[in-house]
């Protein structure tokens, strides 16, 4: 089963109630938020209602919100080394 990767590129401010309702149902609360929905005629219809605000692509596997957040997280940049606390060195 394939999925739509939907990202809200343009804000819903100033859009009609119906369009904002579609964005709410898709789970797009903020600009640049990415959600994954299965490819069905219902989802396709919702995308067509607000297609000017979105960027859509098709992927095989969806990511959870946690996984999306982890991908965006920058590297720590350091490793804690402490001979007094060996469990810190193991991290």
The CB-side HSE value for 43 (13 A sphere, CA atoms) comes to 16
What Å distances lie between residue 47 and 12, 18, 38, 62, CA to CA?
A: 14, 13, 12, 17
Q: Of the two residues 66 and 72, which places its CB atom closer to other proteins in the complex?
A: 72
Q: Minimal distance in Å, beta carbon 89 to other proteins?
A: 10
Q: For binding to other proteins (CB under 8 A), which residues are involved? A: 74-82, 84-85, 88, 91
Q: Of the two residues 13 and 79, which places its CB atom closer to other proteins in the complex?
A: 79
Q: Of the two residues 56 and 88, which places its CB atom closer to other proteins in the complex?
A: 88
Q: Rounded CA gap, 61 and 78, in Å?
A: 32
State the residue for tokens 């969806």: 62
Q: Of the two residues 64 and 78, which places its CB atom closer to other proteins in the complex?
A: 78
Q: Minimal distance in Å, beta carbon 81 to other proteins?
A: 5
Residue 58: which H helix or E strand, with range?
strand 54-59
């Amino acid at each position: 089963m394939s999925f739509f990767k939907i990202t809200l590129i343009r804000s819903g401010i100033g859009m009609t109630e119906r369009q904002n309702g579609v964005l709410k149902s898709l789970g797009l609360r903020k600009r640049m938020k990415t959600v994954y929905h299965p490819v069905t005629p219902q989802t396709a219809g919702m995308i067509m209602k607000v297609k000017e605000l979105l960027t859509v692509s098709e992927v095989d596997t969806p990511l959870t919100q946690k996984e999306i957040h982890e991908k965006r997280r920058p590297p720590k940049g350091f490793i804690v080394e402490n001979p007094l606390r060996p469990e810190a060195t193991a991290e």
